[in-house]
């Protein structure tokens, strides 16, 4: 229960303006509400954002990654290298196409896949690497593509959290192989549900269109052919309209996120939380889109666990989140042979990582309130 005298602060909340709501009304009244002109316009605008590379949209980020795997021809007998610290969608899509996820532990500082360990995980069956940019912080992209080139692997970037992130001044999505984004409401921009895939050429884009709608291709006035097994993954025009309105505000949203992240670093500097061993995320203001602000709790130095910590925040009117438990310890993955102890850094993060509130509509005072609460809880429960 929120026993503070302040309104509850969630860990995230989408910012949707009245103009967007009016534009959605226009689409609903237009007579065409599923995939149509809004989707085409959204894809063109995204393509412009990503330096003119082809972009196709889907009804989720999960569908986007699954279709990238299919376009890459990955299936039974193939291995895909990925991180155990992600939303379970990442490795679920690998299983979904019949391939085998091969986890590589994270770097405890960046919390992303440790690229220096990737080479040791490559076998003759390895076909692709699927890195995840947790909280919007990219991996070392030069290192990533160097490994891919040297071992002739495809890369399917799970950039679900990384729209607006950069590497060396280049926008994530504007270079590389397949780059997958999500527009889930928790992401930096939303289409309610949705996703987008940046592709390499028009042939891949045409294949993406088939996979997202029953394998169908059309020609002339009445021609229809089906030559691959596709599914039903198209984005609606209502969703695309929301996405287009959000895209216009991407830079503004991300700038505000960065400002709030700076306030977190300032607000936590020299406080009881750091003294007690709380670890902060890398302060990478050049590259990160600040999708999340995640701290690592020093569980061995606290007399309460993460759930207890979250409850203490909740009593102070503050929401928090867990992104994420280590994937390989879920029952579905244990059944495939994964065990405790295999990826110790990811396991520790899975137990100790905590997402603090961060979204564009937050006030500076909200950040201050969270910092005070985190410091107070650490002081109170320090062993
Ligand atoms: C959100 C997310 C996804 C899945 O996106 P959906 O649109 O929810 O399907 C995949 N991977 C990561 C890392 C995510 O954060």
pLDDT tens string 5-16: 889 999 999 999
Q: How far is CA 227 from CA 150, 209, 234, 245, 282, in A?
A: 33, 12, 18, 35, 47
- The phi, psi pair for 365, rounded to 5°, reads -65, -30
- Domain at 250-381, CATH from 1.10.1040.10, 3.90.1150.10, 3.30.70.60, 1.20.120.1200: 3.90.1150.10
Active-site pick, 100, 187, 232, 248: 187
Ranges of residues in the chain with a pLDDT under 50 are: none
Residue 149, burial from CB neighbour count under 10 angstroms (0-12, 13-18, 19+): exposed
Q: Is 187 a catalytic residue?
A: yes
Ligand 1 center from residue 207 Cα (angstroms): 22
**Res 3: pLDDT:** 82
Give the residue, out of 161, 178, 246, 291, with the most ligand 1 atoms within 8 A of its beta carbon, to mutate for a pocket test: 161
> What residue spans in the chain does CATH classification 3.90.1150.10 cover?
250-381
String of DSSP letters for 18-59: HHHHHHHHHHHHTT--SSSHHHHHHHHHHHHHTTT--EEEES
Ligand 1 center from residue 194 Cα (angstroms): 10
| CA contacts within 13 A on the Cβ side of 25 | 6
pLDDT in tens, 248-265: 999 999 999 999 999 999
Measure the CA–CA gap between 278 and 275, rounded to whole angstroms: 7
Q: Name which residue sits closest to atom 2 of ligand 1, judged by CA.
A: 160
Q: Which atom of ligand 1 is nearest to the CA of 65?
A: 10
**Res 1: pLDDT:** 72
CATH of domain 18-247: 3.40.640.10
> What residue spans in the chain does CATH classification 3.40.640.10 cover?
18-247
Give the residue, out of 60, 62, 82, 239, with the most ligand 1 atoms within 8 A of its beta carbon, to mutate for a pocket test: 62
Output the ligand 1 site: residues, CB below 6 A: 60-62, 86-87, 89-90, 132, 158, 160-161, 182, 184, 195
Ligand 1 center from residue 114 Cα (angstroms): 20
Peptide bond into 324 cis (omega under 30): yes
Q: Name which residue sits closest to atom 6 of ligand 1, judged by CA.
A: 61
């Amino acid at each position: 229960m929120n026993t503070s005298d302040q309104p509850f602060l969630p860990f995230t909340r989408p910012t949707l303006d009245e103009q967007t709501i009016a534009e959605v009304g226009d689409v609903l009244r237009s007579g065409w509400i599923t995939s149509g002109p809004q989707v085409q316009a959204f894809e063109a605008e995204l393509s412009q954002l990503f330096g003119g590379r082809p972009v196709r949209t889907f009804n989720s980020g999960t569908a986007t990654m699954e279709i990238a795997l299919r376009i890459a021809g990955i299936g039974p007998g193939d291995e895909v290298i990925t991180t155990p610290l992600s939303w379970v969608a990442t490795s679920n899509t690998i299983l979904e196409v019949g391939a085998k996820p091969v986890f590589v532990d994270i770097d405890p500082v960046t919390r992303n896949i440790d690229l220096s360990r990737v080479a040791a995980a490559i076998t003759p069956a390895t076909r692709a690497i699927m890195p995840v940019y947790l909280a919007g912080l990219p991996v070392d992209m030069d290192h990533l593509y160097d490994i891919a080139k040297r071992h002739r692997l495809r890369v399917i970037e799970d950039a679900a959290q990384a729209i607006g992130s950069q590497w060396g001044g280049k926008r994530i999505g504007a270079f590389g192989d397949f780059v997958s984004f999500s527009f889930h409401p928790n992401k930096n921009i939303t289409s309610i549900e949705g996703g987008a895939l940046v592709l390499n050429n028009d042939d891949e884009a045409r294949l993406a269109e088939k996979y997202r709608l029953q394998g169908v291709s059309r020609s002339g006035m009445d021609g229809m052919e089906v030559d691959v097994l596709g599914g039903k993954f198209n984005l609606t025009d209502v969703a695309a309209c929301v996405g287009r309105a959000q895209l216009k505000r991407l830079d503004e949203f991300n700038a505000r996120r960065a400002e709030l992240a700076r306030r977190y670093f300032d607000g936590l500097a020299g406080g009881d939380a750091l003294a007690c061993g709380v670890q902060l995320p890398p302060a990478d203001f050049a590259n990160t889109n600040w999708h999340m602000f995640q701290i690592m709790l020093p569980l061995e130095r606290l007399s309460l666990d993460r759930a207890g910590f979250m409850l203490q925040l909740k009593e102070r009117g503050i929401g928090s989140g867990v992104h994420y438990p280590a994937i390989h310890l879920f029952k579905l993955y244990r059944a495939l042979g994964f065990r405790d102890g295999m990826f110790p850094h990811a396991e520790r993060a899975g137990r100790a990582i905590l997402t603090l509130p961060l979204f564009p509509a937050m006030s500076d005072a909200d950040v201050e309130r969270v910092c005070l609460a985190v410091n107070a809880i650490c002081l109170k429960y320090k062993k």
